[in-house]
Amino acid sequence: MEIKGEVTEIIYKNEVNGYCIAVFETAEESTTIVGYLPFVNKNDTLEVTGKFVEHQEYGRQFKVETFKKVMPETLDSLERYLANGLIKGIGPATAKKIVDTFGKETINVFKLEPERLSQIKGISKDKALEIAQEFVENWELWQLVSYLEKFGLGPQSAQGIYKKLGENAIEKIEADPYVLVELSNKVDFVQIDKMALKIGMEYDNEKRIRSGIKYALLRVTYNGHCAVLYENLVDFARELLGVSEDAIDSSLINMKAKEEIYIEERGNEDWIYLSTYYKAEKNIAEKLIELREYKNINAIENLDRKLKKIEKTQKIELSDKQKEAVKLVNDNNVCVITGGPGTGKTTIIKSIIDIYKEEELKITLCAPTGRAAKRMTEATGEEAKTLHRVLEIGKFASEDEINPDLLVTPIDANVVIIDEASMIDLFLMNYLMKALYSGTKLILVGDENQLPSVGPGNVLKDIIASEKVPVVTLNKIFRQAAKSKIILNSHKVNEGESFIGIKQENEEELLQDFFFIQENNKENIIKQIVSLCTGRLERYGNYDFIKNIQVITPTKKGNLGTKELNQVIQSNVNPFETTKKEKKFGDTIFRQGDRIMQIKNNYDIFWERDGKTNEAGSGVFNGEFGTIIDINEMDKEIVIKFDDDKKAWYSYADLDQIEHAYAITVHKAQRKWVWCCNYANCTSSSYATYKKFAIYCND
């Protein structure tokens, strides 16, 4: 049966899964509704289907099976709806003024004549348009949430999908449900396929087979590959879709004709690419060859003499390998400098900078992430930027848009140095290649044994393996670096040897930079981590969690993933207090004092930097760390102070761009330098990038 009414009170709400118990006022009676109602708030008007049941303890209840949000029908209910705080800029007083002014026309004013809202005192014309747009978007999002919920897709997925589909999202999905697979990385093909079949999609529908093939091709990118062998693709797709090989072949022919895929013949084998991946890979290869073969217009003379001058000025003595690396850079337009931690890569970068600055050549320093760029700046004394910022990708497309032909800003430089090049994925490398002028010197610096990029491709390792680009490999650990057991152990792991472990917690050993704590179960590992994070290390160096300690784990989900560890550490390091403001976002609680990390590039977020210069600007980038200093419920904003003293304001709608940073993944940790690290169930050698304490916990 179906009933219609207004939510007058929320008795219980599970923010994780959306399960809700609420008081529901219909025209006939007041009842209790129970069920999965994500994003349902007090004063919402709903149409719900289900049945009345008798609860053993709480009596008669209406168990909700499906729900749909509808516009309030009375002026009182409309005023309550507008006053519930969902629309930024409208509180109870403003809601009353709007309803009193426009009466039954209120909804149409929001939808069709938003400029009329400026008649209300305190609302400018610009503000009126903003409020109306948020009203419409909020309403359409609600419709999408309730539509997707019955197919097993949660509110977080719905939000991401709406951002990309925009108006009339439901109609677009019904026309082609498989569009969802390409729109959100949170949406799995199998999940969408069940939905599509449920609403009547035929098994042999061309859209279904095409989407299944794309899904198969995307899966191989999870392991760094960009193409799959034809036979393997067909076998996977046939099992996935339950259709004949002929049907798959037919779709492949159509996809090739539409240039959605590319088939490359290698001997007797056919390899299938998504066209975007093939084009990006081809562009990179062609540009590298072009750079390599172009006239070396930025070579300098008397390099040996200049190197001696550098050694004297910097009070250093370059090794033969380091000198070889500098000469390689001078003799070639493109080259790779690779080596593990402590092998002198940073010294080479500084020497190259000094030499070319003396020649008055333009130098651009870049890194794939904000964290790596900051570290490069600190190490060289010269400004380094993220590749996204240098290329200004955000001005032309969203961060996750895959378009090999995307416009980027050319790099006006004679020499471009990229640090942490192992973290560059296929598409970012393609954009970089497009931005370089012929004759520019490109220097890729990185450790080929570090983790590859999160995105597709294993770019640095493949460039080295191609033997088409000059490479110098640094393998000598310098004396100063050799004092660090962190660095020594990283090399041992790369060489397949057992690391030097310190198993006893005595005074002498804890003054060293690496020790090992062996635990055999999850509970004990968590106890060790909490103990280390809450003061146990203070007697050995006055370590502060916010400034000096970082917990690292391989995964986001599961036992000892970042999701679980962040909740545990937050409850111990920054527990609930009545004086601390909080904001629930999905299943996450953001609290004043929380340590957070930006997880997407956002070129629009405004920031100010307090200090002598009173700087201001826009843009916060993936990998930047900060602390929540305020939560403003009235303005629906969270204020974050980043580690470089930027203070930025995040609307509640932008909270999907941050996450807790008490515990981070190994990928996020690369090139983040702190004083003390806890490793939860971590088997990677990436601890070599850390400076003072490495604590390795393994179950």
SS3 content of the chain, % helix, strand, coil (to 5): 45, 25, 35
Look at 150-159, 202-211, 488-497 and tell me which has the smallest mean pLDDT.
Answer: 150-159
| 639 burial level (CB within 10 Å; 0-12, 13-18, 19+) | middle
**Order of strands across the sheet that contains 471-474:** 384-386, 363-367, 415-418, 441-446, 334-339, 471-474
Q: Are 270 and 264 in contact (CB under 8 A)?
A: yes
Calculate mean pLDDT across residues 62-66. 89
* Number of other CB atoms surrounding residue 449 within 10 Å: 19
Beta strands 549-553 and 663-665 are parallel
Confidence of residue 154 (pLDDT cuts 50, 70, 90): low
Confidence of residue 699 (pLDDT cuts 50, 70, 90): very low
- Which pLDDT does position 280 carry in this prediction? 93
The angle formed by the CA atoms of residues 527, 588 and 596, to the nearest 5 degrees, is: 75
Place of tokens 């003061």: 535
Any long-range contacts for 284-291 (C-beta under 8 Å, 24+ apart)?
284/426, 284/429, 284/430, 284/433, 284/459, 287/433, 287/434, 287/436, 288/334, 288/433, 288/463, 288/468, 288/469, 289/468, 290/438, 291/333, 291/334, 291/436, 291/438, 291/440, 291/442
- Which pLDDT does position 375 carry in this prediction? 86
Confidence of residue 691 (pLDDT cuts 50, 70, 90): very low
Which amino acid would we find at residue 441?
K
d(CA 135, CA 330): 59
Calculate mean pLDDT across residues 61-81. 83
- Which pLDDT does position 230 carry in this prediction? 94
**Shortest CA distance to 63 belongs to which of 75, 50, 80, 73?**
50
State the number of CA atoms in the 13 A half-sphere of 358 facing the CB. Answer: 16
Q: Report whether pLDDT(693) > 90.
A: no
Q: Are 576 and 591 in contact (CB under 8 A)?
A: yes
d(CA 177, CA 192): 7
Q: Are 554 and 518 in contact (CB under 8 A)?
A: no
Look at 177-186, 327-336, 395-404 and tell me which has the smallest mean pLDDT.
Answer: 395-404
Q: Are 120 and 98 in contact (CB under 8 A)?
A: yes
Tokens representing 293 are: 């073969």
- What is the three-class DSSP state of 364? strand
d(CA 78, CA 93): 13
Place of tokens 């990179």: 284
Q: Torsions phi, psi of 524, nearest 5?
A: -70, -35
Look at 192-196, 443-447, 551-555, 665-669 and tell me which has the smallest mean pLDDT.
Answer: 665-669
- Which pLDDT does position 367 carry in this prediction? 92
Helix ranges restricted to H, 87-178? 92-102, 106-112, 125-149, 155-165, 169-175
pLDDT cut 90: percent of the chain above it: 41
d(CA 586, CA 320): 56
Mean pLDDT of the chain: 84
Q: Torsions phi, psi of 358, nearest 5?
A: -65, -30
Confidence of residue 34 (pLDDT cuts 50, 70, 90): very high
d(CA 554, CA 655): 23
Confidence of residue 659 (pLDDT cuts 50, 70, 90): very high
- Which pLDDT does position 685 carry in this prediction? 36
d(CA 493, CA 450): 11
The angle formed by the CA atoms of residues 185, 187 and 189, to the nearest 5 degrees, is: 110
- Dihedral sign for Cα 273, 276, 277, 282, please: positive
d(CA 238, CA 498): 44
- Which pLDDT does position 569 carry in this prediction? 93
444 sits in the region (left: phi over 0; alpha: psi -120 to 50; else beta) called beta
Inter-CA distances, 308 with 340, 429, 496, Å = 25, 34, 38
d(CA 150, CA 14): 18
- Which pLDDT does position 127 carry in this prediction? 87
Q: Are 621 and 389 in contact (CB under 8 A)?
A: yes
Calculate mean pLDDT across residues 525-554. 79
**Shortest CA distance to 689 belongs to which of 460, 679, 674?**
674
- Which pLDDT does position 613 carry in this prediction? 57
d(CA 256, CA 248): 12
d(CA 443, CA 470): 10
Calculate mean pLDDT across residues 216-227. 81
Q: Find the helix packing angle between 230-241 and 206-221, rounded to 10°.
A: 130
Confidence of residue 132 (pLDDT cuts 50, 70, 90): confident
Confidence of residue 275 (pLDDT cuts 50, 70, 90): very high
* Number of other CB atoms surrounding residue 360 within 10 Å: 7
- Which pLDDT does position 482 carry in this prediction? 56
Calculate mean pLDDT across residues 147-160. 69
Place of tokens 């080295």: 464
Q: Report whether pLDDT(688) > 50.
A: no
- Which pLDDT does position 690 carry in this prediction? 38
Give me the residues paired with residue 68 across strands: 47
- Which pLDDT does position 455 carry in this prediction? 77
What is the dihedral angle through the alpha carbons of 619, 622, 626, 628, rounded to the nearest 10 degrees? 80
Q: Report whether pLDDT(642) > 60.
A: yes
pLDDT digits (tens, 9 = 90+) for 386-441: 888 898 875 544 445 566 677 788 999 999 999 999 989 898 999 999 999 999 99
Q: Report whether pLDDT(107) > 50.
A: yes
- Which pLDDT does position 689 carry in this prediction? 36
d(CA 457, CA 358): 37
- What is the three-class DSSP state of 647? strand
d(CA 623, CA 632): 24
User: DSSP states of 535-586 as a string?
Assistant: IITGGGT---HHHHEEEEES-SSSTT-HHHHHHHHHHHHS---TTS-EEEET
Confidence of residue 629 (pLDDT cuts 50, 70, 90): very high
Look at 68-82, 192-206, 659-673, 684-698 and tell me which has the smallest mean pLDDT.
Answer: 684-698
Calculate mean pLDDT across residues 29-49. 86
Q: Are 185 and 166 in contact (CB under 8 A)?
A: no
State the number of CA atoms in the 13 A half-sphere of 84 facing the CB. Answer: 23
- Which pLDDT does position 62 carry in this prediction? 94
Distance of CA 353 to the CA centre of its chain: 31
Calculate mean pLDDT across residues 64-72. 81
Tokens representing 172 are: 């677009």
pLDDT digits (tens, 9 = 90+) for 284-302: 999 999 999 999 999 999 9
- Which pLDDT does position 114 carry in this prediction? 87
Calculate mean pLDDT across residues 548-552. 85
Place of tokens 């219980």: 12
Confidence of residue 218 (pLDDT cuts 50, 70, 90): confident
Q: Are 88 and 651 in contact (CB under 8 A)?
A: yes
Q: Are 43 and 7 in contact (CB under 8 A)?
A: yes
Place of tokens 């597709």: 456
d(CA 48, CA 1): 8
- Which pLDDT does position 672 carry in this prediction? 53
Task: Give the DSSP H/E element, type plus range, for residue 408.
Answer: none
Which of 138-142, 262-266, 455-459, 533-537 is most confident? 262-266
pLDDT digits (tens, 9 = 90+) for 586-622: 779 999 999 999 988 777 788 898 664 567 877 787 7
